[in-house]
Structure formats: structure tokens, C-alpha cells
Structure 1
Amino acid sequence: MKVHTLEINKFKSASNSVNGLVVFKVDALVTPKEPLEGIEPSSIITMTEANARVLMQLLKAQLAEFDNKKPKSRHGRHG
């Protein structure tokens, strides 16, 4: 497995697919990362607080789209 550091510079858009995937179009700096010995290799995503807030809004919008596509229950939710 190759590991990388992904530095998000800008979120451009988000959409969701019929397969249940959320797709983000981003500008990012992607650089190879050396795995640390003895630690499972993992890629790292970094972003500013401002971009984290944009991500949160994009996620909320995409989740709302998924919810709008689901059939409504006749009995409502209890809990």
C-alpha cells in the first residue's frame, strides 16, 4: 500500500452517486509519505479549520440529499 499526505487546499463541490457514495472535487497537494516503522501505514488528510467547516456543510447537504431520496415511513419515528 502506498501512503500519502493529502493537504486539502479547497473543496470545490460535492455530489452523491446512485451507489451511495459521496464524491468531493478538491484542490489538494498530494505527497508521498514514508510509513513509520512499527505503525500501520496510513495516509493522512490535513486541512484548515475553514476547510473543515466547508467539509461539514458539504457533508450535511449530501446527507440531506440521501435522506430526501429514501422512502418516508408511514408511522413516523419513535424514540
Structure 2
Amino acid sequence: MKTYDIEVQRLKSMRHDKGLIELNIDALVLPRSARDEESAASCLRLPVDQARSLLILLKQQIAELDKLQPRSRRSGRC
């Protein structure tokens, strides 16, 4: 499996369509060298302010998806 270091440089937009959340970003993607002590996983790095923005946007998108679910299927809420 190829692994990568992904550095998000800018969040451009976010949308959801049919259960899929799509992020448009500017990112620097570099191959990651295989090291024995690390797991074989890609790494995503982003600045704290962008992480906060991403969290807010994800919460908004998930809230919009929850509104589309019938009341009986929402995770325990009435």
C-alpha cells in the first residue's frame, strides 16, 4: 500500500450529495517513506484554524443530513 503525507493548504468548499461529503481543497501530497515503527497509513496535516473551520463545516453538513432523515431514524433523538 502506498502511503502519503497530505498537507491541506486551503479549504475551498464542502458539499454533500447522496450520502457523500465532498471537500474541495488545495493540498500538498507527497509520498511517505516506509518506516518500520510507523503504521502503514497516510497522514493528513492541517493548521489549527483550518481544522476548526473543517469541524464547523462538517457539523453543518451532518446537521443538514440529519434533517433529511425521518424523525424515527435520527440517532436516539425525538
Q: So what's the TM-score if we normalise by structure 1?
A: 0.84
Q: CA deviation at 1:51?
A: 0.5
What are the ranges of 5 or more consecutive residues in structure 2 without an aligned counterpart? none
Partner of 2:65: 66
What are the ranges of 5 or more consecutive residues in structure 1 without an aligned counterpart? none
What is the alpha-carbon distance in structure 1 between the residues aligned to residue 8 and residue 17 of structure 2? 22
Matched residue count? 75
Q: Which residue identity is paired with 2:42? A: S
Structure of greater Rg: 1
Q: Which residue identity is paired with 1:62? A: Q
Partner of 2:36: 37
What is the alpha-carbon distance in structure 1 between the residues aligned to residue 66 and residue 39 of structure 2? 35
What is the alpha-carbon distance in structure 1 between the residues aligned to residue 37 and residue 10 of structure 2? 33
What is the alpha-carbon distance in structure 2 between the residues aligned to residue 5 and residue 38 of structure 1? 16
Partner of 2:3: 3
Partner of 1:57: 56
Q: Which residue identity is paired with 1:45? A: L
Runs of 4+, deviation exceeding 3 Å? none
Identity across aligned pairs (percent)? 36
Q: Which has the higher helix share?
A: 2
What is the alpha-carbon distance in structure 2 between the residues aligned to residue 21 and residue 35 of structure 1? 31
Q: Which residue identity is paired with 1:10? A: R
Q: CA deviation at 1:39?
A: 3.5
